[in-house]
Amino acid sequence: MRRVLFATLFATAACQGDTEVIPVDVQWMDWPAEVVAGVPFRTRLVVFGPCAITKAFRPSPHADPSAVTFRPYFIAENEDIVCIARGGVSEVLLVSALDTAGMAPGLSAESPRTYEMRAASASNLLVAGRTIRTFGDVAVFPPSGPGPALPEPPRNAAGHVSKEVDVSGCVRIRPVGLYSPGAALVLENPSDTAGLQWAFVRGYVYTPATPVCGESRVFHLVSRN
C-alpha cells in the first residue's frame, strides 16, 4: 500500500531557465480558529519536500471574498537528480514531509463572519491528482467589535493522517509523512476509529481541562472522509 501511496504524491515541475517550480500538495494544515480582521495569521502547512536542490519554499496564499487558498511550491535548481525512495522506487518527492508554515493575509470583516481555509491537496491518497480542497474555516472578528470569544482559541486542523495505538490503548493521529516523536496528536474522542487510517480528517487542537493520555494538547475529531 505504501508504494501506491507514495506514487500518488508526484509533483509536476515547470522549468524556468536554471530553476524549476515544483508544486506540492498540503498534507496537513492547522490555523487559529478565531482571528481579528486585517491581521495576518500563521498557518501551519505540512507538505512533502521535493527530491531536488531547493532554493526557496513559497506557501503562495491568496484571499478572496470567501476563502484563503494556499497553492504551495518549491523553487529548485534545474538539475537531474535521481532519488531512490523506499522499495527502490525513483520519485520526484521524498517520502518524509516538511513541517513548515505560511502567513495567511489579513481578512476583511465588517461584522463577525467566517472564511473557508483551502489548499491544493490530493483528493485521495490512493488516487493521483491535485485539487483545491476545503480544510475548514476561520472565524473573523472586526477590530472595533467584540473580539474572539476565547482567551486561547483552539487551532482548527485538517489533513491526511495515519493512526497509532499504544500499549495502553491511547489512540493518536499523525500527519502523513511526519515521523518525529512529537508529530502525533492524542485523539480526544476515539469512540470510533474504524476507517481512520489514511483518512482525511477535520477537527481542532486544544488544551483540555485535564490531560488525555498524559498529553496537554489533543485533537478533537469532527469529521473524516
pLDDT at 126: 59
Tens digit of each residue's pLDDT (9 = 90 or more) over 109-138: 999 999 999 999 987 765 555 789 999 999
**62 and 144: one domain?**
yes
Tens digit of each residue's pLDDT (9 = 90 or more) over 22-56: 899 999 999 999 999 999 999 999 998 887 777 89
**191 and 140: one domain?**
no
**112 and 67: one domain?**
yes
Domain boundary at 151, 180, 208, which? 151
Task: Identify the CA nearest to 68 among candidates 96, 8, 21, 26.
Answer: 26
Domain boundary at 151, 169, 196, which? 151
92: containing domain: 2-151
pTM exceeds 0.85 for this model: no
Q: What percent of the chain has pLDDT over 70?
A: 79
